[in-house]
Amino acid sequence: ETGVTQTPRHLVMGMTNKKSLKCEQHLGHNAMYWYKQSAKKPLELMFVYSLEERVENNSVPSRFSPECPNSSHLFLHLHTLQPEDSALYLCASSQSGGGYGYTFGSGTRLTVV
């Protein structure tokens, strides 16, 4: 385990479904992130939470809804997704001012059918 755990590892959902991705960090970090990795594209930052407050929303469609109930947990709620939303969704955490960089989870591979 890397210290950042994501579940599920794989998810197939229909366009009318509602599902949630979960991320948990065991590193005592104070910031958590959602990134999206699509085929042939660089990783894209979606959301940032610092001290449980959202500090960045990178023009993400409203069908993606993040939630950060505490500094260790981060969720990404999904509803009415499109096939082009199929991608690898990666969670990360960091400690601002910590000087150790970001730690990533193993990702959730999402397929929208």
Partner 1 sequence: GIQVEQSPPDLILQEGANSTLRCNFSDSVNNLQWFHQNPWGQLINLFYIPSGTKQNGRLSATTVATERYSLLYISSSQTTDSGVYFCAVERGGSNYKLTFGKGTLLTVNP
Site residues for partner 1, 23-52, by CB under 8 A, read 31, 33, 37, 42-43, 45, 48, 50
Residue 25: count of CB within 10 angstroms of its CB: 24
CB 11 within 8 A of CB 21: yes
Q: Which residues, in sequence order, are bridge partners of residue 23? A: 6, 74
- Residue 40 CB, shortest distance to partner 1, in Å, is 9
- 103 scored as a contact of partner 1 (CB under 8 A): yes
Q: Using CB under 8 A, which of the segments 11-19, 20-28, 69-77, 87-95 binds partner 1?
A: 87-95
CB closer to partner 1, 67 vs 80: 67
- 67 scored as a contact of partner 1 (CB under 8 A): no
Residue 49: count of CB within 10 angstroms of its CB: 21
By the criterion CB under 8 A, which residues form the site for partner 1? 2, 31, 33, 37, 42-43, 45, 48, 50, 55-56, 88, 90, 92, 94, 96, 99-107, 109
